[in-house]
Structure 1
Amino acid sequence: MCVLDTTGLEVPVKENNPKFFYSLKNQVEKGSPEKPEHEIYIATLAQMPKHSKAVPKAKLMYTNGHFAYAYTAAVLTNGLGLVRNVMLFEGQKDSVTLKPILEDFHLHHDISRYEYFTADAGFDSTENYRYLVEECKLKPVINLNPRNTKDLPKPDSDSEGVPLCPKNPGLKFKYAGFCKSRNRIKWVCPLTKRGKSGYICTCPNPCTNSKSGRMVYTYPEDNYRRNTPIPRNSKLWEKFIRNVLLWNSRSLD
């Protein structure tokens, strides 16, 4: 089993010295002596630089229970918690770190020795499922991310696979291009028009609050995110999820 998670690797820079924070806090207090203590802390954090002056790649982030200047690191371990690979990233979302770290790991190790891959909901994306199943031959155990599962009416499709408006099946979504990097086809609302600054929806009864209207993606292959090799909420699925939660509770100090 492989387990992937992201964390922050703190850097020995002056911004991580408590004196740096309290010096800034004293300045905030002098400017607003009437503010309560918790507001002083919030205002001080807001004035902290976004990255270290000496090491720009060390960003201000909340990691291991506190704010610190650190590198974003993806850490790959086996089922025993032993670190198998570490890669540093600069500001990327968790989901886009999965493929690079596994590709790097595969250059030096036999990934076929592993059968399962577990990670938290931050790695939930259709592209990751497809990569894990098709290229790595791994069985992914990743909880669905609520932010990736919007509560919107689901459009049906015609015999050729073109999505249909969920409120008026007589209207077909308009083709808006093929995303090579993600191997998917983009479709936009049939009542959407392209303006100078992007798409504008003219539907009088839209199914989304987005000004650009509803967008739908279809994939040439099956949807591995929906049809996972290990059924969601099965006993085996829950077993792996417990391992992910256990790993996430650890800190890499």
Structure 2
Amino acid sequence: MKPLGKIAVPWAWYLGIVGIIIFDVVAAITMLALVPTKMPDRVNSGLVALGGSYAPPMNRETLVARVIAGAVLILVISLGVSLLISAQSKNLAADHPEASAVQLARRWSFLNNIQSCIGWFSFFLAAILSISALRLNGPGVVGHFEMAVYIIAIAVLAWTLMVSLRRGQMLIDRAIPIREDDSQLKWGIIYHDASDKRVFVELEDGHTTVINMARGGAWLLIGVMVLPALAVVAWVLLGN
């Protein structure tokens, strides 16, 4: 088996997010210059969505910070995860000397699957947050229907991410089949066994129960838990 190379960081997607941030800054300053009388006097803070009342006066610095906050947060988090994945993939053999070549290949493929999805997911999430932030902090009133569209778009994007990750894992199973002597915790991180029909699996130690990510019910369970949390986070970031 060929040596495993370092997984590249999807810099193109992250440069795209930088472009979104630059566009946000230009658009915010332009709005404030062209239609100052139609802009809100104060900019609601995300704390308002949590029951607070803090609303700083409208000025250029406040507006720009408010508009780019979501995209900057997404960029920092996603880029950090990508750099961590890239660094970990380079040292898989050294970090897991007891693992077989097949196990290392599966772990590397698992990390590569995440890396291939996180770039486009971060870009489109940053784009949605930026568009909504410009609308919420710009002239005009944003209705409940438009807010619902933004929340639904984020939920659909998150679901698309989970589906893409699952498809990638299925391709890994076909290319690098699980062997009987492989660990129950596939890739050393999660349990993924297409031949096991259970969703909740108790490991051999008798004290650990994991979710079998090869079953559709597991992904549905994660979606039920994750999507409402994403909706709340998005609601706060959008400053309802």
Same fold? TM cut 0.5: no
TM-score, normalised relative to structure 1: 0.30
TM-score, normalised relative to structure 2: 0.31
More helix by share: 2
Q: Structure with the greater relative contact order (CA < 8 A, sep ≥ 6): 1 or 2?
A: 2
